[in-house]
Structure 1
């Protein structure tokens, strides 16, 4: 039986719906297995990129913000977010929670599988507002039973709520991601901020998309260095790489402007 479940909030009665949503989330969390991550970072597997991140990868238990490079790049930003979740689950096992606020499409089984994610390891939780998304994310982090938690927000993450999520994530150090629209530029204390744009993906001999590609901008990195890369995703190997046309040309990244 597939373990993915959806919980939908009804906006007609906010107080009762909020209580019902929390109850549903706790039921979902009861199925998650509590484990500790073996390390403190998740390397992306590209030396020129990981060298710019403190500790050699995305810090676990830290907040990481992802945004489209421009209007119209939302699918690319969502794909990159899900690829990060897929890589972490492939390395660490366990389950992930996706909290989906209005303004974002709900990921579906075939789409998740196409990015290397097992739908049976993904808990989907739909909410009616960003406030409800913030509450659900914090509740999930405090439950300490997930390897990755990602929030798809409609209006971004305020600084106060970002700090609350950071504190809640410290105990078990999951991969913590927040995806926001391009316009929702709020300070939130994130350890890294990524801007993601679409790029023409690699295709197989039949003309089908084989490996998605993204224009990846590390716009801000606490105790690290910004940079820009064209990244390719191998969903079968759960691995990021540089396109063949660029792989032999170093440096593959250029320093971001301060």
Structure 2
């Protein structure tokens, strides 16, 4: 004889309405575009920042661990700024968990902000990311995969647009030195990140890390390359001091000539 199980009570209309309001407020705080706060980047991006309802791809400049670390922290810094509201969390989906939590926290992505998901293969990680994007309640989603074809990236782009949630896809593994960004993709922006020599300091030690950042492709815009100082404790990049001073001097010279 079978036993009837009590059905799960459905949420009330009032509760659903309240959840929709909370979600709308969260999306409004996140904003349609996340700027880098650096004119050197924002003025060259067609949207003047990263579209919060789009797919953005990142790859390391080489197989070296230093470049892998630079790309990972570049991702973490972006995620930290998407999560800058008190109750915002994000999903980081992987097949092999090797993230270094103290390193993420140094660029502003504390453990209270991150939900980790692990799949056995890329297909599971991509499915996890797509579901999280369509849910629309997360500040952003990061997924690390070996490969993602055009169909997979189209699905992620559509899911990001539907849920108005930014998708950061880390194409982490390289095959025989081939750049993962050489394959077709539906991403709105594609970034290649590598480490660069830090500035010499007047005392013994290492200066603030620097990264070589290449925007390989963007919709409705041109590619560009910049050398920048790595993310600070809030996930923000900076121009190297010499470059920043040179830019100020040029502005002053221009104003005097005018």
Identify the TM-score tier after normalising by the shorter chain: 0.7 to 0.9
Q: After TM superposition, give the deviation of residue 236 of structure 1 in Å.
A: 2.5
Q: After TM superposition, give the deviation of residue 81 of structure 1 in Å.
A: 1.1
| Paired position in structure 2 for 1:127 | 119
2:256 maps to 1:246:
no
Go from structure 1 to structure 2 and tell me whether the alpha carbon gap of 1:133 and 1:237 turns closer, same or farther (over 3 Å shift): closer
Is there any run of 5+ residues in structure 1 with no aligned partner, and where?
Answer: 1-32, 252-258
SS of aligned partner of 2:104: helix
Q: Distance in 2 between matches of 1:209 and 1:115?
A: 17
Is there any run of 5+ residues in structure 2 with no aligned partner, and where?
Answer: 1-21, 249-258
Structure showing the higher helix proportion among its residues: 2
Go from structure 1 to structure 2 and tell me whether the alpha carbon gap of 1:166 and 1:234 turns closer, same or farther (over 3 Å shift): closer
Go from structure 1 to structure 2 and tell me whether the alpha carbon gap of 1:79 and 1:237 turns closer, same or farther (over 3 Å shift): closer
Q: For this pair of structures, how many residues does the alignment match? A: 216
Pairwise CA RMSD of aligned residues?
Answer: 2.4
Q: Distance in 1 between matches of 2:203 and 2:119?
A: 39
Go from structure 1 to structure 2 and tell me whether the alpha carbon gap of 1:87 and 1:213 turns closer, same or farther (over 3 Å shift): farther
Q: TM-score, normalised by structure 2?
A: 0.76
Q: After TM superposition, give the deviation of residue 207 of structure 1 in Å.
A: 5.5
| Paired position in structure 1 for 2:6 | none
Q: TM-score, normalised by structure 1?
A: 0.76
| Paired position in structure 2 for 1:212 | 209
- 1:108-146 Cα offsets, whole Å, 9 max, x none, are 321211221111110111211111111111111122110
Residue of structure 1 aligned with 2:150, choices 137, 159, 180 = 159
SS of aligned partner of 2:230: strand
Contact 1:99 1:150 in 2 (8 A): yes
Q: Distance in 2 between matches of 1:202 and 1:59?
A: 32
More deviation in 165-174 or 138-147?
Answer: 165-174
Go from structure 1 to structure 2 and tell me whether the alpha carbon gap of 1:244 and 1:106 turns closer, same or farther (over 3 Å shift): same
Residue of structure 2 aligned with 1:199, choices 193, 196, 200 = 196
2:79 maps to 1:85:
yes
Structure showing the higher strand proportion among its residues: 1
More deviation in 81-90 or 198-207?
Answer: 198-207
Q: After TM superposition, give the deviation of residue 235 of structure 1 in Å.
A: 2.4
SS of aligned partner of 2:163: coil
Q: Distance in 2 between matches of 1:101 and 1:47?
A: 36
Residue of structure 2 aligned with 1:171, choices 130, 142, 162 = 162
Q: Distance in 2 between matches of 1:143 and 1:245?
A: 44
Q: Distance in 2 between matches of 1:209 and 1:94?
A: 33
Contact 1:231 1:240 in 2 (8 A): yes
- 1:205-256 Cα offsets, whole Å, 9 max, x none, are 87666633210001111111211111113423432111112212349xxxxx
